[in-house]
């Protein structure tokens, strides 16, 4: 505290000296901060995971990991399964990204998927129409159902200032209980062994490309350019990003933030709900308790991993899906399958941590650059 004479910070000189080695590569180091941070996150995840594997089972973590991923990414059936599992995750993630880009934390994809599944089942079981009419009706109705569901959170936010993070999370549990009620009550099949709905009509069942990969996967893929277009090429996308990136500037520019919040919540929830729809019409062909499979929550991880970038999101979804699919191979090594969930959670933590590393690196490097000038 009583120091008065300023001494040059030795750390600064050090970073200045080290600042030179990289110049030979002739790339700005700043552009490398982000990939580097990701590499650190992945290494850290599998390092910690490896320590746990070794501590629990005494097996070589590398061989466990290689069997873990070789099934997911290097066997034909494994790959198909990975893509199939990624389908609802991608759809839920696409809906979520629209909200995130507007600065709205819609964490309700799981519940919105449940609503989508309920609507799809209710129509798919009862409405006997040709496929060409029935399927569009199912998708449209699911969209509307999900939109209204997340619209509750939008209404609470714009009218009473309830934070959407809380309301959407809470609505998840209500929607999942509603789903359970539906399969044991109004939508229950006659004399079920366990709570489940009747099978949906044959014309509502979407064909498989090659089992287990369903045509719904193509729908998920088609959604990516559509959402990209909405975000980047429409005035709605422009405005929602303006609010997300500069709320005060958007307000001063006269944007109706409440109205925009409502619109974005409706679209986001509507798209996410389709994740539940495809599980009904492209996988289960009926509704069961685990029809949403936690994919709505997994999508949160995927969106964070992709840093809310719509183009990167499917790849993050494939990776996470691969970890989920590979879980079954873990049991062969005597490790519980749920260990892959632990790895996913760990990965998310490490990616968040990597974000800090990245910011720190950028600050440091930008600073070092200035000193050198």
Partner 1 sequence: MEETSTPEIVLEVKGISKHFGSVQALDCVSLSFRKGEIHTLLGENGAGKTTLMNIIYGLYQKDAGEILVNGKVYEIRSPRDSLQLGIGMVPQFFKLVPDLSILENIYLFMEKTKFIIDHKGAKAIIQQLSEMFGFGLEEMVDREVGSLTEGEKQKVEILKILARGSKTLLFDEATNVLAPNELDSFLQIVKDLNKSGYSIIYITHRLQEALQISDRISAFRKGKLVGTISGKEATLEKLTVMMVGAELEKTSAVMPQEKGASILEVKDLNVIDERGLLALKNVSCQFYEGEIVGLAGIEGNGSNYLAEALIGLRRVKSGKVIYRGSDITRSLPLHRMKLGMSLMPSSNALVPLFSVRDNSILDYPEKPPFSRHGLLDRKAITAHAKRIVTDYQVQTPSILLQAVKLSGGNRQRLAIGRKIESNPKFMIAYHPTKGLDIKSQSFIYEKLLTMKKAGMTVLFMGTDLDELLLVSNRLMVIYRGEIVGVFDDLRSVSKFDIGVLMTGGARCEGVESVGN
- Indicate whether 252 belongs to the interface with partner 1 (CB under 8 A): yes
DSSP 288-308: BTTSSTTHHHHHHHHHHHTTT
Of 195-234, binders to partner 1 (CB under 8 A) are: 233-234
| 371 Cβ contact list (under 8 Å, min separation 6) | 12, 15, 16, 19
CA–CA gap between residue 2 and residue 30 (Å, rounded) = 37
- Indicate whether 235 belongs to the interface with partner 1 (CB under 8 A): yes
Stretch that binds partner 1, among 44-52, 95-103, 239-247, 297-305 (CB under 8 A): 239-247
Least distance (Å) from partner 1 to the CB of residue 270?
17
Q: Contact at 8 Å (CB) between 184 and 195?
A: yes
Beta-carbon-side half-sphere exposure of residue 227 (alpha carbons within 13 Å): 31
User: Is the peptide bond between 69 and the residue preceding it cis, with omega within 30 degrees of 0?
Assistant: no
Selected binder of partner 1 within 135, 242, 291, 343 (CB under 8 A): 242
- Indicate whether 367 belongs to the interface with partner 1 (CB under 8 A): no
Q: What is the CA radius of gyration of the chain?
A: 24
Torsion angle of the four alpha carbons 223, 224, 228, 229, in this order, in degrees rounded to the nearest 10:
-40
- Indicate whether 2 belongs to the interface with partner 1 (CB under 8 A): yes
Write the CA distances from 14 to 301, 363, 364, 372, integer angstroms.
Answer: 38, 15, 12, 12
- Indicate whether 236 belongs to the interface with partner 1 (CB under 8 A): yes
Selected binder of partner 1 within 60, 159, 186, 256 (CB under 8 A): 256
Please say which residue, 55 or 252, places its beta carbon nearer to partner 1.
252
Stretch that binds partner 1, among 12-20, 84-92, 93-101, 244-252 (CB under 8 A): 244-252
- Indicate whether 7 belongs to the interface with partner 1 (CB under 8 A): no
Please say which residue, 3 or 202, places its beta carbon nearer to partner 1.
3
Binding site for partner 1 (CB under 8 A): 1-4, 233-239, 241-242, 245-246, 248-256
């Amino acid at each position: 505290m009583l120091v008065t004479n300023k001494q040059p910070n030795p750390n600064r000189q050090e970073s200045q000296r080290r600042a030179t080695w990289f110049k030979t590569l002739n790339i700005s180091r700043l552009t490398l901060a982000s990939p580097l941070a990701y590499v650190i996150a992945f290494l850290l995840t599998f390092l910690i995971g490896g320590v746990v594997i070794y501590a629990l089972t005494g097996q070589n973590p590398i061989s466990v990991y290689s069997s873990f991923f070789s099934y997911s990414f290097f066997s034909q059936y494994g790959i198909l399964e990975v893509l199939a599992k990624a389908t609802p995750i991608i759809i839920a993630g696409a809906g979520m990204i629209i909200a995130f880009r507007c600065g709205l934390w819609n964490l309700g994809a799981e519940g919105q998927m449940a609503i989508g599944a309920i609507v799809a089942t209710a129509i798919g079981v009862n409405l006997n129409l040709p496929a060409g009419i029935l399927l569009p009706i199912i998708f449209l109705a699911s969209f509307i159902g999900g939109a209204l569901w997340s619209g509750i959170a939008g209404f609470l936010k714009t009218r009473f200032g309830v934070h959407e993070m809380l309301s959407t999370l809470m609505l998840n549990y209500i929607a999942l209980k509603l789903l359970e009620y539906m399969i044991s009550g109004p939508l229950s099949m006659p004399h079920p062994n366990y709570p489940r709905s009747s099978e949906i009509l044959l014309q509502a069942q979407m064909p498989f490309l090659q089992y287990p990969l369903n045509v719904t996967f193509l729908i998920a893929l088609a959604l990516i350019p559509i959402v990209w277009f909405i975000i980047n090429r429409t005035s709605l996308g422009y405005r929602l990003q303006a609010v997300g990136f500069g709320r005060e500037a958007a307000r001063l520019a006269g944007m109706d933030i409440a109205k925009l919040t409502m619109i974005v919540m409706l679209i986001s929830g509507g798209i996410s709900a389709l994740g539940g729809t495809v599980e009904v019409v492209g996988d289960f062909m009926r509704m069961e308790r685990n029809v949403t499979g936690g994919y709505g929550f997994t999508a949160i991880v995927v969106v964070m991993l992709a840093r809310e970038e719509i183009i990167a999101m499917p790849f993050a979804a494939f990776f996470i899906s691969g970890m989920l699919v590979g879980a079954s191979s873990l049991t062969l090594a005597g490790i519980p399958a749920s260990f892959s969930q632990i790895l996913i959670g760990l990965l998310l933590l490490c990616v968040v941590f990597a974000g800090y590393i990245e910011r720190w690196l950028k600050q440091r490097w930008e600073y070092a650059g200035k000193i050198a000038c």
